[in-house]
């Protein structure tokens, strides 16, 4: 999915690719401050039996490996834009209920471009906080107390998986220089779940004056290891979750993308 989304992004941004950037943290094969560019080895991916690594310069297009995606096969920007609007646009998010669709449609007058509000949860945490891989689940509303059911819970807005080796394994490996305080981040979209709560009459609108108090009361998060072992929220003090929203102007046709405004910070999630 990441590969597919990046391939679509490339069609929309034909003049952009890898921007030379200094590494922020030590990793298995790079050191903090080391510049990474299109000729940097993409470890651990060997391209031949001589143990030469692929580089970004050699894998600009998926066709290098003999495949393409439906949206990118023709490299036509209009085709990619139409696919994004169909699959991920406002109407796609609202298909779970007719009332939610009406919420979106009420923002449109005579087909003119209008604004909607998108909401996300920003997650930031130490990569090695638990010395093992772990999940962060974001819920809006009540949820099943059985962690094995969380991934399919009706009120699950989304989850973030932190994939790591155990720190003890890393410290005994060639990555003995890895930074145990390395931070990672991610986002969980909240819009789809909020629209459903509007359709059920539990939330009045997508405006900050309505959403902020609603999330303050109803948004919860939980943490588990990959085997569903529950970890107390207070046991991961580095974890910070903040809520933000952004105004989005709908496209006037399927050949245009929505226009996103500036992200606006709203509230920090309690660790309770």
Q: Per CATH, which fold does 96-268 belong to?
A: Hemocyanin; Chain: A, domain 2 (2.60.310)
Domain ranges of the chain: 18-59, 96-268
Q: Is there a contact between 200 and 140 (Cβ–Cβ < 8 Å)?
A: no
Q: What percent of the chain has pLDDT over 70?
A: 85
State pLDDT tens for residues 176-234.
Answer: 667 778 899 999 999 999 999 999 999 999 999 999 999 999 999 999 999 999 999 99
Report how far residue 268's alpha carbon sits from residue 260's, in angstroms, rounded to the nearest whole number: 22
Identify the band that residue 159 occupies on the pLDDT scale cut at 50, 70 and 90.
very high
Question: Do 42 and 64 meet the contact criterion of CB atoms below 8 Å apart?
Answer: no
Q: Is 212 helix (H, G, I), strand (E, B) or coil?
A: helix
Tens-place pLDDT, residues 1-54:
999 999 999 999 998 999 999 988 887 778 888 899 999 999 889 999 999 999
Q: Which residue has the tokens 């998010």?
A: 93
The rounded distance, in Å, linking the Cα atoms of 175 and 246 is 39
Q: Is 31 exposed, middle or buried (0-12, 13-18, 19+ CB in 10 A)?
A: exposed
pLDDT of residue 221: 96
Residue 134 has pLDDT above 70, yes or no: yes
Q: 147-150 long-range CB contacts below 8 Å, 24 or more apart?
A: 147/222, 147/224, 147/228, 147/229, 147/230, 148/228, 150/222, 150/224
Put residue 141 in one of left, alpha, beta given phi > 0 → left and psi -120 to 50 → alpha.
Answer: left
Handedness of CA 101, 102, 103, 104 (dihedral sign): positive
266 confidence band (pLDDT: 50, 70, 90): confident
Q: Does position 129 have pLDDT exceeding 50, yes or no?
A: yes
Q: In this structure, what is the dihedral angle of CA atoms 100, 106, 109, 115, given to the nearest 10 degrees?
A: -70
Residue range 248-265: mean pLDDT, rounded? 87
Q: What is the mean pLDDT of the chain?
A: 86
């Amino acid at each position: 999915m990441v590969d597919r989304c990046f391939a679509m992004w490339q069609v929309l941004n034909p003049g952009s690719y890898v921007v030379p950037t200094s590494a922020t943290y030590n990793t298995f094969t790079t050191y903090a401050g080391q510049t990474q560019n299109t000729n940097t080895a993409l470890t651990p991916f060997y391209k031949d039996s001589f143990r030469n690594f692929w580089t970004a310069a050699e894998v600009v297009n998926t066709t290098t490996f003999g495949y393409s995606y439906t949206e990118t096969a023709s490299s036509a920007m209009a085709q990619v834009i139409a696919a994004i609007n169909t699959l991920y646009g406002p109407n796609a998010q609202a298909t779970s209920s007719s009332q939610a669709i009406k919420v979106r449609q009420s923002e449109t007058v005579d087909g003119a471009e209008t604004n909607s509000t998108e909401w996300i949860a920003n997650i930031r945490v130490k990569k090695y906080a638990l010395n093992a891989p772990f999940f962060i689940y974001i819920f809006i509303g009540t949820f099943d107390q059985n962690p094995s059911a969380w991934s399919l819970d009706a009120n699950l807005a989304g989850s973030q998986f932190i994939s790591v080796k155990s720190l003890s394994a890393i410290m005994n490996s060639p990555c003995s220089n890895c930074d145990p305080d390395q931070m990672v981040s991610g986002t969980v979209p909240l819009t789809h779940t909020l629209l459903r709560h509007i359709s059920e009459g539990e939330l009045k609108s997508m405006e900050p004056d309505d959403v902020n108090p609603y999330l303050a009361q109803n948004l919860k998060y939980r943490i588990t290891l990959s085997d569903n072992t529950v970890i107390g929220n207070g046991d991961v003090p580095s974890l910070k979750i903040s809520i933000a929203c952004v105004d989005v102007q709908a496209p006037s046709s399927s050949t245009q993308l929505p226009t996103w405004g500036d992200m606006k910070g709203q509230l920090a999630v309690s660790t309770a």
